[in-house]
Amino acid sequence: MDSKTSCDVIIIGAGVSGISAAKVLAENGVEDLIILEASDRIGGRIRKQDFGGVSVELGAGWIAGVGGKQANPVWELANKTGLRTCFSDYSNARYNIYDRSGKIFPSGVAADSYKKAVESAIQRLRSEEANCNSADMAMNFDFDQISTPKTPIELAIDFILHDFEMAEVEPISTYTDFGEGEFLVADERGYEHLLYKMAETFLFTSEGQILENRLQLNKVVRELQHSRSGVAVTTEDGCIYEANYAILSVSIGVLQSDLISFEPPLPRWKTEAIDKCDVIVYTKIFLKFPHKFWPCGPGKEFFIYAHERRGYYTFWQHMENVYPGSNILVVTLTNGESKRIEAQSDQETLKEAMEVLRNMFGPDIPNAIDILVPRWWNNRFQRGSYSNYPIISNSQAFDSIRAPVGRVFFTGEHTSERFNGYVHGGYLSGIDTSQALLEEIRKEKEKERINETHSFLLEPYLALTLSQTDTVAGLHKCEVPRQVFLSRKMGIPEAIL
Ligand SMILES: Cc1cc2nc3c(=O)[nH]c(=O)nc-3n(C[C@H](O)[C@H](O)[C@H](O)COP(=O)(O)OP(=O)(O)OC[C@H]3O[C@@H](n4cnc5c(N)ncnc54)[C@H](O)[C@@H]3O)c2cc1C
């Protein structure tokens, strides 16, 4: 490959949003495109890995929002490609709460704590809303009625509610639009199979491999220059790619980091919107055992550990429903706990997890024979798991996050107002961004056509005027200043020069 390559559109990132954006462009005649992906694979936060004899999903695992009036487009893709999935029912998790001595809390106690936690979560949401809406509302709000979780069971339920079920503004569009069902992907080809199927429609593939130089792997974009006339992208290995437009699909965590520099820098309204969005770190730790020692009957797939430290190895799942006989447990950690375990060795994490399991199931259980700890926070191409907008956010936040800056368009799950944080959010945002770009291309072509028509009509008149000017050339010499010409050619605002 030359060190300088030109095309119509550069797409940065080959996650679900980058691939869906590229597909829409290709289907609409913009085939001269290049996808630059920093890692050695497509998929981004959709990623499988072989572990303990089966395929596990390190990133997205569930297709969330199934069974409603509208079809979830990702669910439709999964059905079309025959992806194997398994229904998940979290509702019983609250009846499988273990204390530190291995006793399961009686269902009445669990149900009471759950009810109390839901009420206080609703109060907390209302208080945030009151704070945001007006000083009057905030003054009249009775903040004392919000109880703070204190006991291990309250802390565990609070963690489940906030870090899983209610981390978003109610009502949650995913469930209201697409339905309440959630299906866990359990397919040896992985969730990422959907992306290969999508890529196959516009990139040349053979035996499941994408063999096209319009997809460039191991290309870490470090600089994005943009002007009125185009974009130039420089990768870590020194290659330069030029195009009319760029679509940037990197995660919100990457946008908040300094991996990519912009020239000229992004405007303040954009950087402020990027910085305001929170990044959730969500880590699934996989543990393989020589045999199972946990209950596996109906309603037992998910279980909870109540500890005085919030989020300490709280949420567990066994994989017997999806892969019978796999003897694998998954424990989910978030945010501070995720960052803490990312910083320590896997052996230390294994020791902690085993201590928790021995508290729940007794001292005689076997040691895990393998552990897998994904590190989404320390991955410089991710810097976290997904976006989380403040509970009370207005459309302005999303408008700013997704608005293009000149010829640079933004896409990815974080730009989806209704479905941020989800695979379908990424998928739909890629489609929306490409449609906005196609509209921009159409407008630009229309402008060019009008300009051409004008200059064609004006030509005879200009010829006449010029010949007249020639005769007085010595009297009124009128030159376009050099920097103005440069600025028009480069598309740089004149004020900068
Ligand atoms: C642990 C975890 C669990 C999740 N669980 C679920 C779930 O159960 N259900 C669900 O619907 N969603 C879930 N999600 C969220 C879902 O995975 C994401 O919303 C979605 O995959 C995001 O897609 P994207 O295209 O926006 O971003 P990404 O997949 O992050 O794609 C961006 C791409 O850009 C690349 N990139 C970054 N920097 C550069 C650079 N400088 N140059 C070139 N390329 C670059 C990255 O390598 C990446 O491939 C989960 C995510 C995680 C991490």
Give residue-wise pLDDT tens across range 67-94.
999 999 999 999 999 999 999 988 888 8
Nearest CA to ligand 1 atom 20: 423
Binding residues: 17, 37-38, 221
Q: Are residues 183 and 302 in the same domain?
A: yes
Nearest CA to ligand 1 atom 14: 60
Q: Are residues 22 and 147 in the same domain?
A: no
Verify whether ligand 1 is closer than 6 Å to residue 191 (CB atom): no
Do residues 390 and 276 touch, judged by C-beta distance below 8 A?
yes
Q: CATH number of the domain that 84 lies in?
A: 3.90.660.10
How far apart CA 363 and CA 315 sit, in angstroms, is 20
Q: Torsion angle, CA of 100/103/107/108, rounded to 10 degrees?
A: -80
Bridge partners for 317 per DSSP: 302, 330
**Mean pLDDT, the chain, whole residue set:** 87
Position 373 pLDDT exceeds 60: yes
Verify whether ligand 1 is closer than 6 Å to residue 266 (CB atom): no
Strands (E) in 109-208, as ranges, are 181-185, 205-206
Question: Other C-beta atoms within 10 Å of 431: how many?
Answer: 16
Position 3 pLDDT exceeds 90: no
**What percent of the chain lies above the pLDDT cut of 90?**
70
Nearest CA to ligand 1 atom 37: 381
Binding residues for FAD: 17, 37-38, 221
Nearest CA to ligand 1 atom 13: 60
| Highest mean predicted confidence (pLDDT) among 118-132, 150-164, 416-430 | 416-430
Mean pLDDT of 418-425: 96
Judge if pTM exceeds 0.85.
yes
Tokens, residue 145: 């009625």
Nearest CA to ligand 1 atom 50: 60
How many angstroms does the Cα of residue 60 sit away from the middle of ligand 1? 8
Position 441 pLDDT exceeds 70: yes
How many angstroms does the Cα of residue 394 sit away from the middle of ligand 1? 24
Q: Are residues 112 and 9 in the same domain?
A: no
Q: Are residues 309 and 168 in the same domain?
A: yes
Q: Are residues 401 and 355 in the same domain?
A: no
**Which of these ranges, 27-36, 122-131, 138-147, 483-492, has the smallest mean pLDDT?**
483-492
Q: Where does the pLDDT of residue 2 fall: very low under 50, low under 70, confident under 90, or very high at 90 and above?
A: very low
Instruction: Give kind and range of the element (H or E) at residue 153.
Output: helix 152-160
Mean pLDDT of 18-43: 98
From 218, 250, 342, the mutation candidate for ligand 1 (largest count of ligand atoms within 8 A of CB) is 250
Q: Are residues 340 and 288 in the same domain?
A: yes
Q: Are residues 40 and 107 in the same domain?
A: no
Asked, for residue 490, whether it belongs to a domain, the answer is no
Q: Where does the pLDDT of residue 482 fall: very low under 50, low under 70, confident under 90, or very high at 90 and above?
A: very low
How far apart CA 16 and CA 116 sit, in angstroms, is 39
Verify whether ligand 1 is closer than 6 Å to residue 85 (CB atom): no
Asked, for residue 383, whether it belongs to a domain, the answer is no
Structural domain that includes position 312: 62-188+282-372
How many domains is the chain built from?
Answer: 2
Position 269 pLDDT exceeds 80: yes
Verify whether ligand 1 is closer than 6 Å to residue 224 (CB atom): no
Position 387 pLDDT exceeds 90: yes
> Which residues 6+ apart lie within 8 Å of 379 measured at CB?
none
The Cα-based distances of 211 to 27, 174, 208, 241 in angstroms read 19, 35, 9, 20
Ligand 1: nearest atom to the Cα of 430: 25
Ligand 1: nearest atom to the Cα of 283: 1
Q: Are residues 288 and 165 in the same domain?
A: yes
From 423, 424, 433, the mutation candidate for ligand 1 (largest count of ligand atoms within 8 A of CB) is 423
How many angstroms does the Cα of residue 157 sit away from the middle of ligand 1? 28
